[in-house]
Structures are given as C-alpha cells and as structure tokens.
Amino acid sequence: MLMYVAFRFGARLTRAIPLRVSYAIARSVGWLAYLVWAGGRRRCIANMLRVTDGDARAARRLARRSFGNYLVYLVDFLRFLRTDADEVNRRVAWDGWPGLQAERRGKGIVFITMHFGNWDLGAAILAQKGFPISVIADTFENGQVNRLVVDSRAHLGMKVIAAERMGPGILRALRGNDVVAVLIDIPQPSDGVEVEFFGERIAVPDGPARIALRAGSSVMAATLPRVEPWGDKVTVDVAPVPFTPTGDQEADVRSLTQAIFRQLEQFVRRDPSQWYIFRSLWVADLARAARP
C-alpha cells in the first residue's frame, strides 16, 4: 500500500512543479546516489571504462552523468503514469514512420532496445503511430503498483506481456504482424549468450534473437535519446538488423545477437551518459565478482 501511495504521490508531484525544477532535483539526487551507492558506482564506472577505451577519468565523468540522467528518467517515468496521446506525440521528435511501417512484412517486428534515454516513450509513440505494439515488462511485486503501471501503458494502446510469460505471448503477437519491444542489456551469465560489445565479451539474454528467428520477424535496434538535458523531448535512433539464418539454430542466435549489439554499440557511443547500466555486464567483471 505504501509503495502504491508513493507512486501516485510522485506522479502528481512531478506534474505539479515545473519540469526544470523536477530535473534539477533529480540530477542532484542522482549525483548524491553516485557518492553513497558504492557498488553501483563501481559497476557503472567499470562498464563505462569499456566505452572510454580505459580512460578512467572519462569513465567516472560518464558514470556521474548516468546516475543523474537516470534520476531524470525516473521523473519522466512518474510523469508517464499520467500522460496522454497528445503529450507522447509532442515529446517524440522524429519523422521516419513510413519507412518503419514498411518493415512490417507479415511476421511482425522485434524492437530491441536498452536502458537508455527514455525507452518508455518508444512503445508509446509506436502505438500512437498505428503500430500494434506489445511490450515485455517485469511484474511489480506490489499488485496495486503493477496495475497502475500496466494501466498507464494500456490506455496509450500498448499490450503488456509479463516477462515471466514472454515466450508464448511474443510469438502470438509476432504471428499477428504486431510489433514487440524488449530490453536486452540485462546480465545473463548462466542462461544466455555471449557476444562482443565494446571489444569484450558480455553475457546477455538469447530470448529476443531466438524468438525473432522462430517467428521469422524483422529485427530493429533502437534507442530514444533525450534531445537536450533540461527538456523532455526525445528523438529516435533506429536501424534494421539484417540477418540471413543458416539453419544452425544456436549459431544463428549468437550471430543475430551479435549483430544487434554491433548496432546498439553505435547508438551508445553517441552519448554514453544516457545509458543506465549499474550492474556488471561484461563476463570478466562477473567472474571477478563471483570469486570468494
């Protein structure tokens, strides 16, 4: 109950005060979190070291900004609980929708994205532009909070598929020529696939590639970077991930996942501070953390 009340209060509060004030408070809280959350700071810096080719000073700077940007994203998330279609259309500055529609060829599109920019707006704007869209979402333990979040997405035209029921739900959606959006930058050391990212191996979920191959869907890599630090508008970085299956399922899953991350790496390089990665993603870091 307390968490539900906090979510509702936060949604109202972020609407009641000026946006720039909300963002200024959020960035301050984010920088404070960077100072006091030693584990998250350490992991984020380690991740950013790959992006900066080992430049420790630049990695620390990017990590600090990432913490601040993530708290700004949380403000946007709370505001999103009370948003509407007009606001979604105002906030997304991009005009490539006709080309994107052409990618729907009867077997749907799997959109692969990351914890980057404001990813929630991606599915919302697709729904407003006429794409039947399903999103994969973790289920909140608090039932009232979960209903609040699910309803906030559903009233904008999105169908929410619980992560624990991901497989069958996604296949049904894709076979209906729908669009499915899924986050992929989630560490998966024991039951995933290893690919190269910024020159080193990472362990990530194999599900998105596996399901796209099974359904025969188009695959698109996408992020929604914030246009400027103190405004709520985003743009769209999106690119098709061309791939021809060989028939060797495991090799195809690995190769397609690699192709996805090759494209996502280009997007991250444009502004790494908008990537929120506070968990160990690289295999070498996971191995070090597991040592007694």
pLDDT, averaged across the chain: 90
Q: Which domain holds residue 189?
A: 2-290
Burial of 117 (0-12, 13-18, 19+ CB in 10 A): buried
Overall size of the chain counted in residues: 292
**CA 139, CA 123: separation in Å to the nearest integer?**
17
| Most confident region among 78-92, 131-145, 247-261 by mean pLDDT | 247-261
Say if residues 173 and 159 touch (Cβ distance below 8 Å): yes
Question: What total number of domains does the chain contain?
Answer: 1
List of residues 6+ apart from 269 with CB closer than 8 A: 51
pLDDT at 277: 95
- Residues 30, 68: Cα–Cα separation, whole Å: 4
Model confidence over 3-26: pLDDT tens digits? Answer: 767 767 777 888 889 999 999 999
Long-range pairs for 248-251: beta carbons < 8 A, 24 or more residues apart = 249/210, 249/213
- What is the number of other CB atoms lying within 10 angstroms of the CB of residue 190? 7
Please state whether beta strands 133-137 and 179-183 pair in parallel, antiparallel, or not at all (unpaired): parallel
Using CA atoms, how far apart are residues 17 and 89, in angstroms rounded to an integer?
22
pLDDT at 165 over 70: no
Of the candidates 148, 220, 32, the residue with the CA atom closest to the CA atom of residue 40? 32
Give the per-residue pLDDT at 287: 87
Q: Give the tens place of pLDDT for each residue, 174-204.
A: 988 999 999 999 998 888 899 999 999 999 9
Task: Give the residues across from 240 on adjacent strands.
Answer: 220
- The answer to whether 253 touches 209, Cβ cutoff 8 Å, is yes
